Amino acid sequence: MKLEVLERLELEGRRVAERLRLPLGSRVWRGQTGEFRGGGVGSSVDFQDHRAYVVGDDPRHINWQAYARTGEYSMKLYREEVRPLVDVVVDVSDSMWLDLKGKRLGELVYFLVNGVGQVGASLRVWMVKGGEFCEMELDGVLGHGWVKESQSLSGAEEEVPDLSRLGLRSGAMRVLVSDLLFEGDPGGMIRSLGDRGGSGLLIVPFAREEEDPGWDGSYDFIDAELRTKHPYEVGAGVLERYLASYRRHMALWREECLKGQVTMMRVRVEGGLYESLVEEGLRVGGLEVVP
């Protein structure tokens, strides 16, 4: 993918990130001080409660008005503000680079990186391809080096990515960008997204020709990942069975996400990024509008 194309995609991702972001504000975070409401008491401007003064409390938080009325020290308690953790895993298998889906992948990566960066969350990015993966520096991502890096991965396409090997952080929001077009038990991946206090979000770009290919006739299908040729005769019956199989495959992932309390949102690769994200992202809680 050419540099100017990547720059255009980055621009689009950044533009959309000014209007939409990951649902970081809708959950209680724990961790380093930051801009998001934490689970404990902190130094934010958000008033939370009162309690009696004990030695060692910061005298700046003594409620002097209450002391004037009661003659006892009481403390104003404020919400803790923490810095969210976001782990983004990008499936860079060959099927993700096909036509419009590749562009949408680029837009999504830039959208996530910029969006997370704008809220000051701690972000780590991994690229996975089959059983192989690598972690990208943020500069590398924003400098568009991630594409070249991802293409250097030589993981076997037929292997299901094992997220448990990535070292995802505890309590982090784990975002997986993948078209899910591989065989295997989705339960393992879903559990990896939601375990150890993490919250998972599955962003699934999909193309119309996958959902409704409209095949009719003789085809030599080229596997997008293995590059092998497969002759097929597709009639109405075969097409119908394919569509049913596709729907079953996606329904299985959705069911596993429901079980593992992982949010799954599908993103159409056709059309603008914003419209595609809004179409399902806001409804399922995968995204929220930037206040």
Q: Which is nearer to another protein, 57 or 210 (CB)?
A: 210
Q: Are 92 and 136 spatial neighbours (Cβ–Cβ below 8 Å)?
A: no
Q: Which is nearer to another protein, 219 or 274 (CB)?
A: 219
Q: How far is the CB of 279 from another protein (least distance, A)?
A: 21
* Pick from 141, 257, 131, 244: nearest CA to 204: 257
Q: How far is the CB of 188 from another protein (least distance, A)?
A: 17
- Measured CA to CA, the distance from residue 75 to residue 60 in angstroms comes to 9
Q: Which is nearer to another protein, 58 or 220 (CB)?
A: 220
Q: Which is nearer to another protein, 56 or 237 (CB)?
A: 237
Radius of gyration of the chain (CA): 23
Q: How far is the CB of 93 from another protein (least distance, A)?
A: 9
Q: Which is nearer to another protein, 78 or 215 (CB)?
A: 215
Q: Which is nearer to another protein, 229 or 283 (CB)?
A: 229
Which residues on neighbouring strands pair with residue 265, listed in sequence order? 203
Q: How far is the CB of 185 from another protein (least distance, A)?
A: 14
Angle at 225 between CA 201 and CA 279, to 5 degrees: 35
Sheet with 132-136: strands ordered across? 132-136, 122-129, 85-91, 173-177, 199-206, 263-268
* Coil, helix or strand at residue 180: coil
Burial 179-190 (b: 16+ CB within 10 A, else e): bbbbeeebeebb
Q: Which is nearer to another protein, 171 or 188 (CB)?
A: 188
Joined together, the tokens standing for residue 175 give 């975002």
Amino acid at 208: R
Q: Which is nearer to another protein, 95 or 150 (CB)?
A: 95
Long-range pairs for 278-284: beta carbons < 8 A, 24 or more residues apart: 278/20, 281/20, 282/20
Positions that interact with another protein (CB under 8 A): 95, 98, 101, 179, 181-183, 207, 210, 213, 215-225, 229-233, 235, 238, 241-242, 245-246, 249
Angle at 262 between CA 209 and CA 208, to 5 degrees: 5
Which residues on neighbouring strands pair with residue 126, listed in sequence order? 89, 135
- Measured CA to CA, the distance from residue 89 to residue 132 in angstroms comes to 12
